[in-house]
């Protein structure tokens, strides 16, 4: 693990190579004032290639979003240059306003104010279904 360059903040490690930009967007990291570093295609003894995101700030992370994109990500909370906490992710049971239902007849496609909500129906295959119309997420 590498926490170089982060004295207080968050290091997202073991991101599947190529997924870091999606995470950057979903977590809206462009809204952060402090430094955010994205390292792509770093060597990993465990997974071959991986991405890493370093955030120079302690922020409230949406663990559901992270777990949905890639539940292998390790979240390292760094305080004063030391590893303070290490979190492992799980596939979330429900997703609220993370992904959108693609069914054009779904109520969420018609009514803009309704939150997009999905439920995990198959943990192994990572299948989510819209709670309103039952459409699959992928
Ligand atoms: Zn739907």
Which residue ranges make up each domain of the chain?
9-88, 94-130
Q: Which fold has domain 9-88?
A: Alpha-Beta Plaits (3.30.70)
77 C-alpha vs ligand 1 centroid, how far in Å? 36
Q: What is the C-alpha separation between 92 and 7, in angstroms, rounded?
A: 30
Look at phi and psi of residue 15 and say left if phi exceeds 0, alpha if psi is from -120 to 50, else beta. Answer: beta
Task: Classify 121 as helix, strand or coil.
Answer: strand
pLDDT classification of 46: cutoffs 50, 70, 90: confident
Alpha helices in the chain (DSSP H): 20-26, 63-69, 107-110
105 C-alpha vs ligand 1 centroid, how far in Å? 8
pTM for this prediction: 0.82
What is the strand order of the sheet 127-130 is part of?
94-96, 117-122, 127-130
pLDDT score of 107: 96
Residue 132 scores a pLDDT above 60: yes
Report pLDDT digits (tens) over 62-78. 899 999 999 999 999 99
pLDDT score of 44: 84
- CA distances (Å), origin 89, targets 42, 54, 61, 62, 132: 21, 17, 12, 11, 26
Report pLDDT digits (tens) over 78-100. 999 899 999 999 999 999 998 99
What average pLDDT is seen over the chain?
Answer: 91
129 C-alpha vs ligand 1 centroid, how far in Å? 8
36 C-alpha vs ligand 1 centroid, how far in Å? 34
């Amino acid at each position: 693990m590498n926490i170089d360059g982060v004295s207080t903040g968050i290091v997202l490690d073991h991101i599947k190579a190529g997924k870091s930009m999606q995470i950057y967007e979903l977590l809206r990291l462009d809204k952060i004032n402090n430094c955010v570093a994205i390292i792509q295609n770093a060597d990993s003894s465990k997974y071959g290639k991986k991405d890493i995101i370093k955030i120079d700030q302690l922020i409230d992370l949406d663990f559901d979003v992270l777990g949905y994109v890639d539940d292998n990500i390790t979240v390292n909370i760094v305080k004063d240059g030391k590893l303070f906490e290490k979190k492992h992710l799980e596939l979330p049971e429900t997703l609220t306003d993370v992904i959108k239902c693609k069914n054009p007849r779904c109520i969420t496609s018609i009514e803009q104010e309704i939150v997009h909500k999905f439920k995990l129906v198959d943990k192994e295959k990572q299948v989510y279904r819209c709670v309103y119309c039952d459409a699959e997420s992928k």
